[in-house]
Chains A and B, each alone.
Chain A
Amino acid sequence: MFITRKAEFSASHTCRIESLSDAQNFHLYGEESNRSGHGHNYTVEVTLEGEPDPITGMVMDLKELKEILEREIVEPMDHRFLNFEVPPFDKVVPTTANVAAEIWKRLSGTLHGESYRLARVRLFEGPDTYVDITNGVRP
């Protein structure tokens, strides 16, 4: 069984590699490469795979999951400029995929119980683009 909890945060970023020219950055990242940055409303959906506990009837207490998402993701990233304020994005380009991978990294340390494991991180950058990081199982 898969269970999913959603969280939202807004942040600004710019996608550029300083060793490349403006033209090369534009080729890779399009408008996302504008130097002064811009913002998005991000939505992250975190999916766990597991079976409900026979006594509580829950895979994991979603309240607890909400608190973990708040602590690990929303609190550090919400209303921040990712490149300047949220490591590792001082060194790693904060593309949707890299932000999703960083969220996976932060959560996989915390979200592993006896009865469940992290199955998917889906990060929406606006309504029409999203990246999935999965452990190979398709939720």
Chain B
Amino acid sequence: MTVSLTRRYRFCASHRLHSVLLNDVENQRLYGKCNNPYGHGHDYTLSVTASGPLDPMAGILFPISHLDRLVDEHILARFAHRNFNVDVAEFETVVPTTENIALVIVDLLRKNWADYIYPASAQLTRVQMEETDRNSFEVVLPVAARRADAHLEELREVEGRVPVNA
């Protein structure tokens, strides 16, 4: 039995899809009205999923306030009511398609996860960005592989600390 918790966050922001690697005609053909010069906005819904074992006494993966604080401080504080192309450093050269925004969010959440989410057994397993009610983009993270890595890491740490024949 696997337990996952998903929490939804809403924010609005603007973007313009325009690649510096393409000329104006190619950009217009590829991105259509999303290439309009002044950009446009969306009300995005971000869903963040964490999976892991349930603390048997508390009945939670971790306090939800941990996740709220992580998302508030590293995602919403930087993205909400901003223009992705102008205000967010990650998109100076990367086109802020919602695919790329989802990947940047995954990166930011993973980098800061351990500072906010404890117990550490809960892992980030999915990020979904809904651009509108009709368009959504989802990144699913390979848990099994990372769990195995973490397990090996722990083993190495234990082996390094405890003399085998003590």
B23 within 8 Å of A (CB atoms): no
Tell me if B8 and A97 are in contact (CB < 8 A): no
Tell me if A132 and B65 are in contact (CB < 8 A): no
B114 within 8 Å of A (CB atoms): no
B70 within 8 Å of A (CB atoms): no
Segment with Cβ contacts to A, from B36-44, B54-62, B76-84, B158-166:
B54-62
Tell me if A27 and B63 are in contact (CB < 8 A): yes
Q: Quick one: closest B residue to A129, CB to CB?
A: B7
Tell me if A132 and B3 are in contact (CB < 8 A): yes
- Bound CA span A138–B60, Å: 21
- Bound CA span A133–B5, Å: 9
- With contacts A17-B57, A17-B58, A129-B64 taken as known, whether A97 is within 8 angstroms of B5 at the C-beta atoms is yes
- With contacts A30-B65, A133-B1, A135-B1 taken as known, whether A95 is within 8 angstroms of B60 at the C-beta atoms is yes
Question: From residue 69 to 110 of chain A, which have CB atoms closer than 8 A to chain B?
Answer: 92-98, 100-101, 104
Distance of B4 from chain A, by nearest CB (Å): 4
Tell me if B6 and A132 are in contact (CB < 8 A): yes
Q: Quick one: closest A residue to B45, CB to CB?
A: A128
How many residues does chain B have at the interface if contact means C-beta atoms less than 8 Å apart?
20
B135 within 8 Å of A (CB atoms): no
Distance of A39 from chain B, by nearest CB (Å): 18
B132 within 8 Å of A (CB atoms): no
Tell me if B63 and A132 are in contact (CB < 8 A): no
Tell me if A29 and B63 are in contact (CB < 8 A): yes
- Bound CA span A128–B54, Å: 20
Q: Which residues from A are CB-within-8-Å of B64?
A: 30, 129
Tell me if B3 and A101 are in contact (CB < 8 A): yes
Q: Which residues from A are CB-within-8-Å of B140?
A: 138
Question: From residue 116 to 149 of chain B, which have CB atoms closer than 8 A to chain A?
Answer: 140
Distance of B85 from chain A, by nearest CB (Å): 28
Tell me if A93 and B63 are in contact (CB < 8 A): no
Q: Quick one: closest B residue to A96, CB to CB?
A: B5
A2 within 8 Å of B (CB atoms): no
Distance of B54 from chain A, by nearest CB (Å): 5
Q: Which residues from A are CB-within-8-Å of B57?
A: 17, 93
Tell me if A97 and B6 are in contact (CB < 8 A): no
Tell me if B59 and A104 are in contact (CB < 8 A): no
Q: Which residues from B are CB-within-8-Å of A96?
A: 5
Known: A97-B54, A101-B3. 4 other contacts (CB 8 A): A17-B57, A128-B7, A129-B64, A130-B5
Task: Give the interface of A toward B (CB within 8 A).
Answer: 15, 17, 27-30, 92-98, 100-101, 104, 127-136, 138
Nearest 7 CB-CB pairings of A with B: A98-B59, A95-B59, A128-B8, A132-B4, A93-B59, A134-B2, A130-B6
